[in-house]
Structure 1
Amino acid sequence: MGTVEQFGGLPGGIDLVEEDGGPVLRLRGEVDSLVVAAWQASAPAVGRAPVAVDVSAATFLDCRGLRLLVRATETTRRAGRVPELRRPSRTVRRMVEVAGAAPLFATVP
């Protein structure tokens, strides 16, 4: 679907993949404002909102990265479904909790 991966020396990557249950946003490495900006500049228009966010390969998530997760899954929540936050590291989980966004996701260890 769409990918931004280690592009131009960026410390992380984002891609959107289709799985059986629906679109999944995958994050890798350090997802900071530069990575999010690159994703937003090159990502194709998304037909359906992600039903899950796989952060198992993410080592860092800043506030702009968290905002991307919340906004990208907003339509899924409005449809009555709770998006999954898959395998967050301790660092990523802490960012989500401190920001108060944990209730917006069903965390899958």
Structure 2
Amino acid sequence: MQITEPFGAIDLVDEETGPVLRLRGEVDSAVVALWDASDQRHGGAVAVEASAATFLDCRGLRLVLRETEAARRAGRIPELRRPSNPVRRLVDIAGATPLFATIA
């Protein structure tokens, strides 16, 4: 299932290493609200694919942190894969960079 908004999308895909949260377009409060209201399983992401995200607001970052929290509690450092410049900038400004293994 994919949650979409006219300008952004979030979905969770299963990969060999575990669930990966994919962000595309403008991941803002409206997109996060759709994700939260969906019946999509939440939590447990071991990685975030953010190369196609053109915008990420604070609520979007909070979602990313929440969706990867279980991996951190299990002693695993979630991957932040190919973050776009806007995503990288917000993660850096928020001081969340140490919470991820960033893959360029």
Please say whether Structure 1 and Structure 2 have the same fold, judged by a TM-score greater than 0.5: yes
Q: Which runs of 5+ in 1 are unaligned?
A: none
Q: CA deviation at 1:105?
A: 0.4
Q: CA deviation at 1:43?
A: 3.7
2:27 to 21, 28, 31: 31
Tell me which residue corresponds to 1:4: 3
One-letter amino acid matched to 2:12:
L
Aligned residues: 104
1:79 to 74, 95, 98: 74
Tell me which residue corresponds to 2:90: 95
Q: CA deviation at 1:36?
A: 0.3
- For the Cα contact (< 8 Å) 1:3–1:43, is it kept in 2? no
CA distance in 2, matches of 1:90, 1:16: 22
Question: Structure 1 residue runs of 4+, over 3 Å off?
Answer: none
One-letter amino acid matched to 2:94:
A
Q: Which runs of 5+ in 2 are unaligned?
A: none
**1:15-70 deviation per Cα after TM superposition (whole angstroms, max 9, x unaligned):** 00000000000000000000000111114234x60000000110000000000000
Provide TM-score, normalisation by structure 2: 0.95
Percentage of identical aligned residues? 64
CA distance in 2, matches of 1:73, 1:91: 19
